[in-house]
Structure formats: structure tokens, C-alpha cells
């Protein structure tokens, strides 16, 4: 246990050592501050009140890497960084560390930090530690504290999938992963994920920074909700245990830079198969029914009847039931008398199954005694299982900090699921709600109280599932989903915002939750379309929710409605045609979404973006609205209020915007009112953008792919650019070079458009012709730098250019 020294005043620090990028300050009371200059834009601060590390290793830090060691990374392991040159000065009062874009000043009397960022030729002060008791140098208890001065002009964005407004100012949030069934998307806290990172943005100077607190502990962020007369305006972070170990990431000019760098810092996002972008059906009702296999067959029949495109189905946990309870890796053979036939029947229609798995064994699970005897469960101090409430029974969680547990889990995933043709795992109910103080996790040989790193169990569970899929089918890219998670989850899984409640309010605030996740380094996400818990959505709400959901990386309609109904694309005949059309629009956009996920994987770009983050210099984009950017090229404005047939949308200044549906052009800097029928959500393309489309006619069970591009050339002089990544969409062959891309440029001047469409790399199916759509009002002459213009005609507001791409 940490020794607490009751200091009368903050300690007096002095420079103790400076070796390369590592600077150590020490005080007579054994207090220690370590600084790590990791990059021009990243400096790490480690505060140790008694000079010792108390937290476990880190599983978060993986700069540019695909993963960390299974047993974690040593806290002082700085591999993967390329420390920059920097200046160090020390006048005995203040120590200053200065890189090309950060200046950190540490007041030696107390260790208070002040941070400046270089923007242009000027340094801007962006953050100060609170001058009164900023750190816990023995003032209070064994918890970890960090208090920062607060400015009234600041915005705070991130912290994962928090409920409420996108700007976290004036609120407080608890990170304690919990199964928040039927949560209120405006008010409920805590929720499912543990991501202690946020971006501070200061609009008046267009400067900002990211702060990442590397902790596995339950923690709390107060963003100015708390007031205390003795300290002035402040915000703060508190963790239940461990160390104060934080990373400062400079982000001048755009808040997106901090997001990219944080994502890089914590590992490369997974490159998943393209089918994961298709519509995924799901409901609790089918697998809970006694004739589950027949009900599942009816879903395929419904897709056939209504021509609803579908790539996967999320198999809810009812397939594991014994009676009314659920037992992971158990198949209920009464519900599914022919498992292989069932799975193959889905695969014959091009629909892959993603099976629900849970990390807790109920006390009467058929494998419970085996797991307990082998020591695979989180145990109490007396060696007995650490009992927890799990659904309608008592059980115990598996301990994934033990190699034997990981091996057992992987073997069960393979034998129970993958060998039957199940394509993916759905890692669910994995919040690891262990509250007992005497519960012990193995810790890979360094045991610790299990409640101190619950989120680590979640991460290791999803990693074990990913590894099982890799080992079973090494030639295929793993696809897996997890509800809970923490920093680094983007290296393994797609995620969603959990068991939301059906309401218009949820639709509005789920949008903000997704943006918060994207600004926290987790781009591959979505929501339960139509709402999971509560009443069934009405026809209008359901159609509007689908019209929003088709733009998210994860698009799944999932439900457990109170009245026993099922959210299905055809649940309301009066809007079935529009819902089917929206799903086909989703498939038309998949090449663009696939490219955005590639940019997330290769360049750490967030897929979804708040308006202010993409346009930080437009004051009107600072408002917390209901619009979002899909990548940097498309503005999406969902209808989130009942009874609306049009949508007002503000268009950021400094560029033109073109309606996807009409081809009509609008100048930025104004609010326009656009029609918004159910099957034509408001979507506008930004000037200078080129977006990939699939224009092939598609029907359920008969996929087709024909690449085309839609573009908005510059009205004057400029070059529009875009393209799409192309590979087989499913295998790992891309790692050995079996991947290519289309690159499209349109250079404009007053009289002409000069089009270049180029192939790069190994294309899986190189088309000999490409259609390029530009707005119909675009009447300038077209020349092709490569290939030839074969056809030029207008339709539906767009001018369609057919261009030869033959070598």
C-alpha cells in the first residue's frame, strides 16, 4: 500500500537526471515527476508522490503498432517513439522543456505545469495546473488527482460514448463500465466504455490539445461542474488507484490532429472485412423462440421477399439457452436441431453469422466445475469463485489475465462456433462488473485486486476472440464486435453504443455519442437502429433511424422490444419500400465507407467528425447541432424530430456544397432548407471532393460491384481529389501486396476540367470504364489526361461522364 506523507505544502523539486528524452525531477519527500519527450507534439508526465510506480503495466500504448505484448508493456518502455530534439533550461525556479511545437514550464516549487503551443509564429498558453493542490502529494488519500485551471472559452470533446451534449463542459462523468440496459442517451452515466481521453479546444486562438490519462482504474472527470471557492475555476480527473500518468498532445489549428495522434499512440485500427459494412440483422426474439431455427429462416425469407440487402446476422444469446438462462458455448439443440445446416443455409444466401458470447459462467453452467477446478475464474481471497450477479443467476467471470483461460476460451470459440461455419464473434455483456474487494485476478503471475483493472479483462477477452479467429482461419481477416471496451479496443473490434432505449431523444443523442467515440479514437462504431429496449419504434421513427444509421460504419437493426415485437426492415408495410431503398443506398456508399475505414487504419483518420472539428474556424459550426461529417467530404443532416418533411442545415463557409439528390449547388456560410423524404436523407458533397460509389444493381443474395465516382470540382482554379481502396474485401492477401486503389483528380480552371483516373497496385477487378458524376450545372469542357471520354450525358441533376480506363 502506498505510504502517504502528510505534507504541509507542495514539495520543492530539483532536476535529478536528464538522459536523452527522459527527465526526472525529485523532491526531498521522495516525490518524483518524470517527463518523457516523445515527439514534437507529445510529452508525457508521470507523477509519483512516493517515488514508486503503483499501477500495473500498460495495455494502451502501442505507437503505430498492431498490438502490445499479451502481458502488457512496461510503463517506461518507450519503444516505437522517435524522440525529437528539444531544448532544456533550468534557472532553479522553473524548468522549461521546448520542442518545435510544445513549451512545458514546470514550476519547481510544487511541480506545477504550464503548457504553451506554437501556432504560426506565436506561443499560446493553453493549459495550467491549478495553483492550489494540483496533484495529490499526500494531501488527501490514496487516490490519484489532477486539477487544471479552467477557461470559460474552452470546449471539451471525447471521453468515449458519453450521454448528453457533444461538448462535455460543465458536466461530470464516471468511467466505470456497466451494463446500462435501456439507458437515457441524454443523461445516463456511467455507460459501457472506459476511454480517459479528451480534446480541449480553444476557439478564440484555434489551438487545443488532447489529454490521455493512462489508467485502468475506475475514474471520474469533472469538466467544470464542481465549484470550490478556495481554488478558482478548475476541472479535474480522479482515479481510484494507480499513478498519475498522462500524455499531452498538442493540436494547433485543428482538433482532429489530437485525435489522429492519440489513435496512433494507442495502436493501429483493425482492417476488417468489407462485409462488416453491410446491413446486419439481429434481434433477441428469434433465438429466444422455441422454434429459433425456423424463425431465423423466416428472416432470410423476408430479405428475399422485400429485396433487402444483408451481409450478416448477429446471433443473440438465446441459441445457448438451457431453460430461460444462457450458457456461453452451449448450443440448444431443440432450438437448433441442425446447426451446420442452419449456418450453411445462411451462407448460401451470402449472410454470415456473428455469434454472441459472454465471459461469465453461471454457477450451473455445464463447464463450471471444469473451469473452477482449472483455476480459470476470478477468485476470492479464499480461492472460491468471486460470485457476481449475471442476468438472472449468480456466476463467476473468467480471468483473462491467465494464459490457461485464454487457451480455454480460444478452444471453445473454435470448437463451439467457428468449426460450424460461424464467421465472427459478438463479445457481449463484458463489462466485468466485479465489485468485491477481495476478488483476485491472476495478472499473468502478478496478482492484483480484480476490481482495479476490470476493463483489462474486457480487452483481453476480445483479443482472445480475435486470436481464435485468426488461428482458425489465418487467411481471413477477423471480424468481431464488442459492447464494452477501453483504450486500444479499436485494434480488435467494431463496437456499438449498447442497449439504447427507443425514443426520438435517443436518436438525437446517439448521433452525439458516436461522434464522441470517433473523437476518442474509436471510429468503427454504430448504434442499435430502431432502439433496443422499450416500446417498438413507430413507422416514422424507425424510418428516420434507418436513414441515420446507413451512414455509420456499423449498421445493425437490433431489438428486444417490451411488447415482443421485432425491429425488422419490413415491420411496417407503409415504409418497407423506403427502408429497403435506404439499405440499397447504404450499399451504394460502401466503397466510400470502406475507403474511410482504410484511412482510419492507415492514417488514423476519424470516420465520423463533428462539424466544429472539421471546420474549427467557422464560429457557427461550434454549436452543438445534429449534423455530422462522414469523412471530410460528405455532410449528413439526419432528421431527428417527428413530423418533419424538410431539414434546415447550416453549410460551412468558404466552399460550395452540392446536394447528392438534386445536384443543386449552394454557397457555404448560409442555412438552407432541403427536402427530406424518408428515403432521401439530406447529404451534401463538399467542393473539391471525389467519393467512390457502387452503382451496380444489387439484389439480396446476388451481390454486384461496379465502381463509379461522384465529384464536386472547384468552381475556379483548383484540383478535386479522391479515390478508393480496392482488394478482395475479406482475406489477408492485402498484407502481401494484393491491394490497389483508384485515384481520381479533376483539375479545374475557368474553361475546362482535366480528369485523370489512375489505377495503382493490384486491382481485384480492373474495370475498363468508369462513370464519373459531376453536377449538371457543370458545363465546362472535359479532357482526359488518361483514357478517353466515351460518353457525356445528364440525368437526375448530374452530368455523367463515361471514361475509358484501359491501359
Residues 6+ apart with CB under 8 A from 391: 325, 326, 362, 429
Q: How many Å apart are CA 167 and CA 154, to the nearest integer?
A: 9
807 three-state secondary structure: coil
Residue 747 pairs with which residues in a beta bridge?
A: 719, 754
User: What pLDDT score was predicted for residue 7?
Assistant: 53
For 595, residues 6+ apart whose C-beta sits below 8 A from its C-beta are: 631, 692, 723, 724, 725
Cell of 46: 508521470
Only one residue has cell 444483408, namely: 310
Sheet (strand 360-362) strand order: 360-362, 393-397, 388-390
> What per-residue string of b and e applies to 81-109 under the rule 16 or more CB within 10 Å gives b?
bebbebeeebeeeebbbbbebbbbbbbbe
d(C-alpha 254, C-alpha 612), whole Å = 9
The predicted structure's pLDDT at residue 6? 53
Closest CA relative to residue 621, chosen from 646, 658, 647, 651 = 651
Query: What does the DSSP 8-state code read for residue 733?
Result: G
Coil, strand, or helix at residue 234? Answer: strand
Domain edges within the chain: 13-58+80-265, 274-358+402-432+460-602, 609-804
Instruction: Name the residue with cell 468481431.
Output: 480
Distances (CA, A) of 609 to 262, 354, 648: 15, 28, 19
Q: What is the pLDDT of residue 420?
A: 98
At 765 the pLDDT is: 83
Q: Has this prediction a pTM greater than 0.95?
A: yes
CATH superfamily entry for domain 609-804: Golgi alpha-mannosidase II (2.60.40.1180)
Q: Diameter of the chain by CA atoms?
A: 82
Residue located via cell numbers 449528413: 636
Give one DSSP letter per residue of 511-547, joined into a string: HHHHHHHHTTT--SEE-EET-SEESPPPHHHHHHHHH
How many other C-beta atoms can be found within 10 angstroms of the C-beta atom of residue 305? 12
Same fold, 13-58+80-265 and 609-804: yes
How many residues are there in the chain?
Answer: 807
Count of CB atoms situated within 10 Å of the CB of 602: 12
| Residue in the structure block whose three cell numbers are 530539483 | 14
Low-confidence ranges of the chain (pLDDT < 70): 1-8, 807
- What are residue 173's DSSP bridge partners? 221
Burial string for 553-585 (b: 16+ CB within 10 Å, else e) reads: bbbbbbbbbeeeebbbbebbeebbebbbebbbb
Rg (CA), the chain: 27
Give how far the C-alpha of residue 477 lies from the chain's centroid of Cα atoms, to the nearest Å. 19
Beta strands 670-675 and 689-694 are unpaired
85 vs 72: CA distance, rounded Å: 29
CB 401 within 8 A of CB 409: no
Per-residue exposure over 693-706, b if at least 16 CB sit within 10 Å of its own CB, e if not: bbbeebebeeeebb
Q: How far apart are CA 578 and CA 681, in angstroms?
A: 11
How many Å from the N-terminal Cα to the C-terminal Cα in the chain? 70
Q: Are 175 and 190 in contact (CB under 8 A)?
A: yes
Contacts of 563 (CB under 8 A, 6+ apart): 535, 536
The full DSSP string for 677-714 is -TTS-EEEEETTEEEEEE-S--BTTB----EEEEE---
pLDDT of residue 1: 41
CA distance 404 to 445: 12
Q: What angle do CA 279, 285, 287 make, to 5 degrees?
A: 85
- Give pLDDT tens digits for 33-85: 999 999 999 999 999 999 999 989 999 999 999 999 999 999 999 999 999 99
Which of 270, 274, 273, 272 has the alpha carbon at shortest distance from 705? 274
Residue 4: the pLDDT is 45
For cell 449534423, the residue is 627
Contact indicator for 114, 15 with CB cutoff of 8 Å: no
Closest CA to 521 of 246, 194, 102, 154: 194
Tell me the C-alpha distance between 289 and 731, whole Å. Answer: 35
CB contact at 8 A, 655 and 686: yes
In sign, the C-alpha dihedral spanning 775, 781, 787, 788 is positive
Give the integer Cα–Cα distance in Å for 581 and 803: 28
Neighbouring residues of 155: CB distance < 8 A, sequence distance ≥ 6: 167, 169, 200, 201, 202, 203, 612, 622
Is-cis flag, bond preceding 190, omega within 30? yes
Q: What is the DSSP string of 333-360?
A: TTT-S-HHHHHHHHHHTT-EEEEEE-SE
Candidates 2.60.40.1760, 1.10.540.10, 2.40.50.140, 3.40.190.10; CATH matching 13-58+80-265: 2.60.40.1760
The correct answer on CATH 3.20.20.80 for the domain covering 274-358+402-432+460-602 is: yes
Cα distances from 68 to residues 50, 63, 73, 267, 568, in angstroms, run 28, 9, 6, 8, 40
Phi, psi of 262 (to 5 degrees): -65, -40
Give CA–CA dist 577/580, Å, rounded. 5
Amino acid at each position: 500500500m502506498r505510504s502517504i506523507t502528510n505534507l504541509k505544502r507542495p514539495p520543492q523539486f530539483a532536476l535529478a537526471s536528464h538522459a536523452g528524452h527522459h527527465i526526472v525531477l525529485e523532491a526531498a519527500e521522495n516525490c518524483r515527476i518524470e517527463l518523457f519527450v516523445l515527439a514534437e507534439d507529445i510529452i508525457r508526465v508521470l507523477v509519483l508522490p512516493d517515488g514508486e510506480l503503483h499501477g500495473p503495466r500498460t495495455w494502451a500504448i502501442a505507437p503505430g503498432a498492431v498490438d502490445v505484448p499479451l502481458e502488457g508493456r512496461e510503463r517506461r518502455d518507450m519503444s516505437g517513439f522517435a524522440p525529437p530534439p528539444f531544448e532544456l533550461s533550468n534557472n532553479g525556479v522553473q524548468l522549461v522543456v521546448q520542442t518545435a511545437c510544445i513549451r512545458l514550464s514546470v514550476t519547481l516549487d510544487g511541480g506545477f505545469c504550464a503548457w504553451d503551443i506554437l501556432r504560426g509564429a506565436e506561443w499560446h498558453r493553453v493549459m495550467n495546473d491549478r495553483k492550489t493542490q494540483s496533484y495529490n502529494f499526500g494531501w488527501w488519500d490514496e487516490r490519484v488527482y489532477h486539477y487544471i485551471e479552467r477557461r470559460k472559452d474552452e470546449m471539451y470533446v471525447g471521453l468515449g460514448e458519453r450521454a448528453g451534449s457533444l461538448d462535455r463542459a460543465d458536466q461530470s462523468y464516471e468511467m466505470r463500465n456497466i451494463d446500462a440496459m435501456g439507458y437515457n442517451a441524454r443523461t445516463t452515466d456511467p455507460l459501457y466504455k472506459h476511454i480517459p481521453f479528451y480534446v480541449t479546444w480553444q476557439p478564440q486562438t484555434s489551438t487545443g490539445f488532447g489529454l490521455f490519462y493512462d489508467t485502468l482504474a475506475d475514474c471520474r472527470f469533472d469538466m467544470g461542474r464542481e465549484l470550490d471557492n478556495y481554488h478558482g475555476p478548475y476541472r479535474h480527473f480522479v482515479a481510484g488507484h494507480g499513478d498519475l500518468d498522462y500524455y499531452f498532445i498538442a493540436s494547433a489549428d485543428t482538433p482532429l490532429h489530437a485525435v489522429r495522434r492519440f489513435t496512433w499512440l494507442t495502436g493501429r485500427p483493425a482492417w476488417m472485412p468489407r462485409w462488416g459494412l453491410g446491413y446486419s440483422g439481429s434481434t433477441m426474439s428469434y433465438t429466444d423462440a422455441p422454434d429459433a431455427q425456423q424463425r431465423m429462416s423466416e428472416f432470410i425469407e423476408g430479405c428475399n421477399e422485400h429485396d433487402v440487402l444483408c451481409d450478416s446476422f448477429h446471433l443473440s444469446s438465446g441459441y445457448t439457452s438451457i431453460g430461460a438462462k444462457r450458457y456461453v458455448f452451449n448450443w440448444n439443440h431443440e432450438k437448433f436441431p441442425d446447426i451446420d445446416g442452419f449456418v450453411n443455409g445462411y451462407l448460401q444466401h451470402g449472410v454470415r453469422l456473428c455469434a454472441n458470447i459472454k465471459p461469465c459462467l453461471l454457477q450451473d453452467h455445464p463447464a463450471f466445475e471444469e473451469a473452477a477446478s482449472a483455476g480459470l475464474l476470478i477468485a476470492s481471497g479464499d480461492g472460491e469463485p468471486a460470485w457476481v450477479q449475471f442476468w438472472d443467476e449468480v456466476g463467476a467471470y473468467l480471468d483473462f489475465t491467465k494464459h490457461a483461460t485464454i487457451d480455454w476460451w480460444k478452444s471453445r470459440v473454435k470448437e463451439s462456433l467457428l468449426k460450424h461455419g460461424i464467421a465472427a464473434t459478438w463479445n457481449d455483456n463484458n463489462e466485468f462488473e466485479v465489485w468485491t474487494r477481495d476478488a483476485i485476478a491472476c495478472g499473468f503471475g502478478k496478482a492484483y485486486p480484480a476490481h482495479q483493472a476490470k476493463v483489462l479483462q474486457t480487452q483481453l477477452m476480445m483479443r482472445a476472440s480475435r486470436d481464435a479467429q485468426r488461428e482458425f482461419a489465418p487467411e481471413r481477416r477477423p471480424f468481431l464486435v464488442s459492447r464494452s471496451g477501453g483504450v486500444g479496443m479499436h485494434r480488435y473490434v467494431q463496437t456499438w453504443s449498447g442497449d439504447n432505449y427507443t425514443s426520438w431523444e435517443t436518436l438525437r443523442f446517439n448521433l452525439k455519442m458516436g461522434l464522441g467515440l470517433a473523437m476518442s479514437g474509436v471510429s468503427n462504431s454504430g448504434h442499435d437502429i430502431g432502439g433496443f429496449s422499450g416500446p417498438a419504434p413507430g413507422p416514422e421513427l424507425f424510418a428516420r433511424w434507418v436513414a441515420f444509421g446507413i451512414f455509420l460504419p456499423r449498421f445493425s437493426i437490433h431489438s428486444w422490444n417490451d411488447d415482443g415485437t421485432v425491429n425488422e426492415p419490413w415491420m411496417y408495410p407503409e415504409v418497407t419500400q423506403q427502408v429497403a431503398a435506404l439499405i440499397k443506398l447504404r450499399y451504394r456508399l460502401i466503397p466510400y465507407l470502406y475507403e474511410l475505414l482504410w484511412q482510419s487504419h492507415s492514417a488514423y483518420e476519424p470516420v465520423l467528425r463533428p462539424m466544429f472539428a472539421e471546420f474549427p474556424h467557422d464560429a457557427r459550426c461550434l454549436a452543438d447541432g445534429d449534423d455530422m461529417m462522414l469523412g471530410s467530404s460528405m455532410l449528413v443532416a439526419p432528421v431527428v424530430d417527428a413530423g418533419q418533411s424538410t431539414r434546415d442545415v447550416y453549410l460551412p463557409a468558404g466552399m460550395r456544397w452540392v446536394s447528392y439528390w438534386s445536384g443543386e449547388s449552394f454557397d457555404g456560410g448560409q442555412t438552407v432548407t432541403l427536402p427530406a423524404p424518408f428515403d432521401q436523407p439530406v447529404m451534401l458533397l463538399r467542393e473539391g471532393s471525389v467519393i467512390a460509389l457502387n452503382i451496380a444493381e444489387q439484389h439480396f443474395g446476388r451481390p454486384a460491384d461496379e465502381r463509379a465516382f461522384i465529384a464536386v470540382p472547384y468552381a475556379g482554379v483548383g484540383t478535386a481529389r479522391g479515390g478508393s481502396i480496392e482488394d478482395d474485401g475479406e482475406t489477408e492477401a492485402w498484407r502481401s501486396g494484393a491491394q490497389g486503389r483508384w485515384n481520381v483528380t479533376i483539375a479545374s480552371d475557368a474553361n475546362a476540367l482535366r480528369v485523370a483516373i489512375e489505377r495503382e497496385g493490384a486491382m481485384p477487378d480492373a474495370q475498363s470504364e468508369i462513370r464519373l458524376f459531376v453536377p449538371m450545372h457543370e458545363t465546362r469542357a472535359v479532357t482526359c489526361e488518361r483514357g478517353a471520354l466515351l460518353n457525356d450525358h445528364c440525368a437526375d441533376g448530374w452530368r455523367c461522364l463515361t471514361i475509358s480506363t484501359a491501359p
